Amino acid sequence: MNQQKSVLKVGLAGLGVVGSEVARQLTTRSVALGAAAGCELRLVAIAARDRMANRGFNTSTMMWVESAADMAAIEELDIVVEMIGGSEGVALDIVRNALVAGKHVVTANKALLAHHGSELATLAEENDVGLLFEASVAGGIPAIKTLREGLAGNEFSRVSGILNGTCNYILTRMEKTGEAFDNVLAEAQNLGYAEAEPSLDVDGIDAAHKLTLLGAIAFGQKPNFDAVFIQGIRDVAAVDFTYANKLGFRIKLVGVAEPGMAPRMQTCLLPLNCQLAKVNGVLNAVEFHGSPIGGTLSIGQGAGAGATASAVLADLIDIGRGRITLPFGRPVAELSEINSTRKQDGEDTPFYLRLMVVDQPGVLADVTKVLQNHQISVESLLQQGRSPDDVVPLVMTTHETSGTALASALVAIETLEAVRARPVAMPILPDEVEG
């Protein structure tokens, strides 16, 4: 890596909420950050769409780069910080160009790394520079450092977590208030927790990007977002929380990565006494399971200006101190490919199943017959009293089965005449870190 310098010159592309907070920290706390880094971290170049906006820091001494993709061409820069976002376009150009130009890169862009991580890590290796992305996963939780450094001596059997604060907030509020998904989503948008176009969050895509990176580091795999099985939270209804509670569970969007299997991001049922089930609101949490550590859990702010900027600053300090490791913990040539066949299956697991059915004789028999034909057995059954419109929830839990087998069964169940809505199914996960 590059030799230690007394001053590291930084270029920052993207001055949104987080990028501006990084700039404010670098310009107002330069002495303290320099002491931590062992050298001055001097912000000398910036790029953003709106040059005139007031972002709370003095830009008069900095070079303004009209085209962010050109920042890597500034010879004096040592580090390029990419805070624009997106898996393609200018963000990809900035990072590629900077690495090829022999400059360290710090980014919070989980989508970029989930889709192009292998290529970019290869460029970092070839040009002997760092590609650091602590801010890309779980904001204020040092999840990447924990995996790559603090727990580097472990053989991991599982990494899991709650990786999207927007979804966790929505599920927490639905459970507490009994309101419908659409109402709580609108509330989250009004509070600024959810975007106007919320698909990346509520469909599990943002969290799946993060899970891709955690799994790649934990198990020495090439990051492959396309291998991840993703199921968001749109299908969860208020009634599901009532039944889940009766059964002793709480509903959360949980990502699970295990060796030799494709990662899975799914809305799940967790035992009420497990630690992940107790993580509410906008918080994130990451569980690590391995040998010899056993199990350990980290909880903290997953997003926002402060949490994300904190992670960016930690990466800049690591560069200053020369603490630069391989992006995914080992050379790209040593990373394995993810087996994405039957990607919705991990180990066989019990499932929660809710059907909306016409309240008439023979319905239960028809449903259980389909399940039996797919070698799925029922463990428990809940059904409320009659409904004015004669359509009622039929809720059951199954014994352990594969996601593939259940998906096939649900296709057949949906065709039954008495079934009036698409079935909702959620895996029931075990409690592996005791509360």
d(CA 314, CA 308): 10
**Same domain as 394, residue 265:** no
What tens digit of pLDDT does each residue of 248-289 get? 999 999 999 999 888 999 999 999 999 999 999 999 999 999
Q: Is residue 342 part of a domain?
A: no
CA distances from 9 to 27, 63, 73, 74, 116 (A): 12, 12, 13, 10, 26
d(CA 81, CA 11): 6
What tens digit of pLDDT does each residue of 166-220 get? 999 999 999 999 999 999 999 999 988 888 899 999 999 999 999 999 999 999 9
d(CA 109, CA 133): 7
**Same domain as 166, residue 270:** yes
- CATH code for the domain in which residue 393 is found: 3.30.70.260
Residues annotated as part of the active site? 210
Q: Is residue 343 part of a domain?
A: no
Length of the chain: 435
Q: Is residue 339 part of a domain?
A: no
Q: Which residues contact 411 (CB under 8 A, 6 or more apart)?
A: none
Q: Is residue 178 part of a domain?
A: yes
**Same domain as 79, residue 183:** no
168: nearest Cα among 254, 108, 246, 240: 254
Number of folded domains that form the chain: 3
**Same domain as 60, residue 22:** yes
pLDDT of residue 2: 45
Last residue of a domain, one of 276, 301, 326: 301
**Same domain as 324, residue 204:** no
pLDDT of residue 68: 86
**Same domain as 292, residue 147:** yes
Query: What is residue 358's three-state secondary structure?
Result: strand
pLDDT of residue 435: 38
Q: Which residues contact 369 (CB under 8 A, 6 or more apart)?
A: none
Partners of 270 in the β-ladder: 250
Full domain range(s) for residue 395? 351-427
**Same domain as 147, residue 52:** no
Q: Is residue 432 part of a domain?
A: no
Q: Is residue 385 part of a domain?
A: yes
211: nearest Cα among 151, 172, 163, 176: 163
- CATH code for the domain in which residue 107 is found: 3.40.50.720
**Same domain as 157, residue 118:** no
Tens of pLDDT, residue by residue, the chain (435 residues): 445 789 999 999 998 888 999 999 999 999 999 999 999 999 999 998 776 676 777 777 888 888 888 898 999 999 999 999 899 999 999 999 999 999 999 999 999 999 999 999 999 999 999 999 999 998 889 999 999 999 999 999 999 999 999 999 999 999 999 999 999 999 999 988 888 899 999 999 999 999 999 999 999 999 999 999 999 999 999 999 999 999 999 999 999 999 988 899 999 999 999 999 999 999 999 999 999 999 999 999 887 888 899 999 999 999 999 999 999 999 999 999 887 655 666 678 999 999 999 888 888 999 999 999 999 999 999 876 666 568 889 999 999 998 889 999 999 999 999 898 999 999 999 865 443
Q: Is residue 106 part of a domain?
A: yes
Find out whether 345 and 58 touch, Cβ atoms under 8 Å: no
Find out whether 209 and 224 touch, Cβ atoms under 8 Å: no
Q: Is residue 188 part of a domain?
A: yes
**Same domain as 196, residue 79:** no
- CATH code for the domain in which residue 243 is found: 3.30.360.10
pLDDT of residue 193: 86
